[in-house]
């Protein structure tokens, strides 16, 4: 089976979490679709402000790589950080650009303190797009990402039957 992990990261924690989850998916061939903000913290803030205004030109190349993803993968995993109790604006654009109708999907959030609302918003967006969520997790780590929990989550996803 094939899985894709689509993640967004600004500070690197969601990337580390995504890689740990991917490494546990031994029943899958895993491809990563990273959305990694580059540059100084100020540049990253500025890029996200652009995204908040609906301008996704800075990540258009990555977005265009998502075309046809629905036909290639048995499972799609979305991993997002929490910023101001919300997923990044790019998340909504990413979901618009992938046809996930009737697709099996898992979602995860990284956060420092909260993350519940972000996970709920992601769940609703993914379900509204017609996908079936087979697993979800929130990794709360104030000082470092919770990689052991990410590994446990990955193992569970790896063993979850995908047939409906």
Ligand X SMILES: Cc1cc2nc3c(=O)[nH]c(=O)nc-3n(C[C@H](O)[C@H](O)[C@H](O)COP(=O)(O)O)c2cc1C
- Quote the CA–CA distance of 164 and 147 in Å, as a whole number: 30
> Judging by beta carbons within 10 Å of its beta carbon (0-12, 13-18, 19+), is residue 54 exposed, middle or buried?
exposed
Among 27, 74, 83, 151, contact with ligand X (rule: CB under 6 A): 83
130 lines the binding site for ligand X (CB under 6 A): no
CB of 15 to ligand X, least distance (A): 6
* Cβ–Cβ < 8 Å for 21, 93: no
Nearer to ligand X, 79 or 98 (CB): 79
Instruction: Return the beta strands (E) in the chain as ranges.
Output: 2-9, 29-36, 75-81, 104-111, 132-140
CB of 135 to ligand X, least distance (A): 19
120 lines the binding site for ligand X (CB under 6 A): no
CB of 76 to ligand X, least distance (A): 18
Q: Which residues contact 130 (CB under 8 A, 6 or more apart)?
A: 100, 101, 102, 103
89 lines the binding site for ligand X (CB under 6 A): no
52 lines the binding site for ligand X (CB under 6 A): no
Q: Give the sheet arrangement for strand 104-111, strand by strand.
A: 29-36, 2-9, 75-81, 104-111, 132-140
Nearer to ligand X, 115 or 154 (CB): 115
146 lines the binding site for ligand X (CB under 6 A): no
Question: Judged by CB under 6 A, how many residues of this single chain contact ligand X?
Answer: 18
Among 3, 6, 9, 126, contact with ligand X (rule: CB under 6 A): 9
Chain residues binding ligand X by CB under 6 A are 9-15, 81-85, 110-115
């Amino acid at each position: 089976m094939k899985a894709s992990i689509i993640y967004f990261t600004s500070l690197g924690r969601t990337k580390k979490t995504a890689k740990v989850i991917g490494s546990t998916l031994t029943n899958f061939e895993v491809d990563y679709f990273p959305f990694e903000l580059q540059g100084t913290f100020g540049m990253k803030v500025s890029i996200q402000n652009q995204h908040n205004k609906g301008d996704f030109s800075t990540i258009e190349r990555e977005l265009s790589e998502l075309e046809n993803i629905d036909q290639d993968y048995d499972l799609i995993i979305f991993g997002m950080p929490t910023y101001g109790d919300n997923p990044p604006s790019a998340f909504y654009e990413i979901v618009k650009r992938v046809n996930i109708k009737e697709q099996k999907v898992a979602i995860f959030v990284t956060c420092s303190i909260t993350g519940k609302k972000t996970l709920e918003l992601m769940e609703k967006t993914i379900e509204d797009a017609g996908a079936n969520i087979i697993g979800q997790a929130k990794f709360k780590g104030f000082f470092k990402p919770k990689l052991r929990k990410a590994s446990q989550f990955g193992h569970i996803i790896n063993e979850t039957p995908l047939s409906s």
